[in-house]
Structure 1
Amino acid sequence: MTITVSPTPKSGWQRKLTKLRKNPKLFIIDSKAAKTANLAVAETRYRWQQMGGFSFVILAFFSAVVYFTMIASVRYETESRVQVRDADKPATPNDFIPVLSGSNSLGKADALLIRDYLYSNGLIVELDELLDLRGHYQANDWDLISRLSSSASQEEFFDFYREHIDVQFDDMAAVLSIKAQGFTPEFSMALVLAMQAASEEFINRIGHAMAQEQIAFVEQELDKSKQTMKQAELALLAFQNQHQLLDPEAQGAALQALINQLEMDIVKVKTDLAVKHSYLKPYSVEITQLDNQLRALTSQLQEQKEKLVSDDPKAINETSIAFRQVELDVQFALDAYQAGLIGLEQVRTEAYRKLKHIVVIQPPMLAEDPTYPLKIRNLITIFIVLSMLYGVFSMVIKTIKENY
């Protein structure tokens, strides 16, 4: 009698191991994980097919999410707030409410000039030499999209700089806000400080230029007045040398005194002569001497009068008039020169008063947290734009299919 021994039944793990040895590929295909993965892939493929072209929107949006969350380089922003003031005018409470006070002392026009200057190409070149802007913007440490291309032209470099600064003037507060972005907080702060210093240097340079123009004009007029005064003085010296007179008026006064004395002497001689005639003969020696003295005094009196007053150009009266005109010219030139000196000091004082300076209301501070990119806002914007483009594209495709 033959006894048949049945094989011992294998466990589940033993059967799987045997199947794995015989046909690994079939083992993997028939595995539960593979079936689950295939089911998930099929379900995903079905869903993508159901979404159609909107799947490209999802892919693009997912790429944007990856970029902004894992790749995009962060940027730090530093801000400074300043005001422009006159050099000689202190701050007053009304200056901070110019709309109510109607004050124009805060220099709105100057602030707008500074704003335009901070965007100018010339300043960008100066800042590049000072801070190496291009080197910072083109560093390989930043992602390709955020940084400036290494082959960027000068115009592209200028535009990149302007995109990373923001200068705004607040009309209500009369405050100029200066903001700058950098890939490091140290760089953004250094850039704002440099822009702030450049602003003050620029506004002072304008003030000094205007002051120098005004002072140069007044100094030029003063030089002309000085030359006129010297010419008038030379004319006075020439007149004095020509007429051999230091002061015709003084000379005239001396002649007048002499004439008065001569007239008194004549009166005295005439009196003596009348007395002598009363008891002396007409041909006596004393009467003859008095007659000769009288004739001499009368002749001298007539001569001195002709020197003092006559139609002769050399007469004192004519000379005094001419001398007075020359003297007036000298005095006028001297007054004009003195007025020019006073005007020069006034212009210098006024030029100083018109100088401006920058008052820092909010100094720049080192940023601790990055400001850009604005991830949530950018992602929402990208999703909305992609959805709108998808909607427009879908409508165009649908219209074409309906018509054709």
Structure 2
Amino acid sequence: MLRWIIFIAIYSALCFYALQALRTVTRFPWVYFTYIGIALLILLNFVYQFTWGDDAGRVLSRPKSYAFGFLLTIITFNIITVIFLFSEDLFRFLSGSYHKLFGGSKEFSFPERRRFLSMIAMGIAAIPFGALLYGMYRGKYNFQVLKYQLEFDDLPAAFDGFQITQISDVHSGSFDNRKKIEYAIDLVNEQQSDVILFTGDLVNNKAEEMMPWKDTFARLEAKEGKYSILGNHDYGDYVTWETEELKSENLETLKNLQREIGFDLLLNESRYLEKGEDKIALVGVENWGRGGFKKAGDLTKATEAISKNDFKILMSHDPSHWEDVVINDDYHYHLTLSGHTHGMQFGIEIPGWVKWSPVKWRYKYWAGIYQEMGQFINVNRGFGFLGYPGRVGIWPEISVITLKRKSLT
């Protein structure tokens, strides 16, 4: 209860400050009342969804995600506005104190300056405000096909030009637009890749979230097969279960769902992909993540049936596994495919110029292709979304990777 009181007090203070900026900029009362009404509705909806709502006992349900998304939008607007106005208030306070202490008689007031700063503050605050709303309306389904070509000295000749499509972090429990998902599945199939590799997090919490989408994802096609692994959300660790048996049943249901979709689910296992006499090893580990995430991944077990000298592709959901374990392993993993970070669903990317997201402060390898010690990793930005029900600047991704044999001439 105390947490809610503190939260509501802080929220109210931010809204009050932003309201003062509105009153400085415009004299129309309907603007103030509209802002107050929207701010109040967002607060009441957020409190309701996280306390008494139908999904109050579940983590990351769709109504709660939208409640959080709208709250994030207005708080971002308020904070940016407050930063500008607070700096002005601080300046006025210090200047006024100086004049009083040293006998100044002139009243220190700049109403025009205050109005100008309020207009600047609200103009700047409107940019992320609009972007966050756009991210919820359109950005979350703004699917991008990102293509990469990677060269290797020891790629078996028959696999020169072999094409992989990677998708990751579906989070089907967040979906709310069937046409957009069907479009994305068609987009995956249009790539006509040799294999489709899915690197975990099919659901947010429970296998039942995937039931309405099973037939849609079953339409995925690849000439040499479809393979998958589990991500941290697939184990059902983020919801409360009445019994451990129910939790185990949920995981088994999810595994069976993946197989019904047509995925060959790799649980610390490997497969050989063969072309004539040449072959490459596909290795899939269960989730292994730094910082409290499940560590079920077992590279030793997963590679029992392959040779150390094989050309290897590893599927591992969390890129911290690659950083902490994989690149220093005795086996050389030519290419690792991960996801997990979502690129935080927020950032700025201008190819060749800027690549930034707050998630970089937690994950060194957070989006795209990286190379260390002669080994590559692709961190997929994710197919779906979680928490904030949108994406801004970091769009949903379908990765297409072509393997090439490096020319010896």
TM-score over 0.5 (shorter chain): no
> Quick check: which has more Rg, 1 or 2?
1
Q: TM-score, normalised by structure 2?
A: 0.20
Q: In proportion to residue count, which structure has more strand?
A: 2
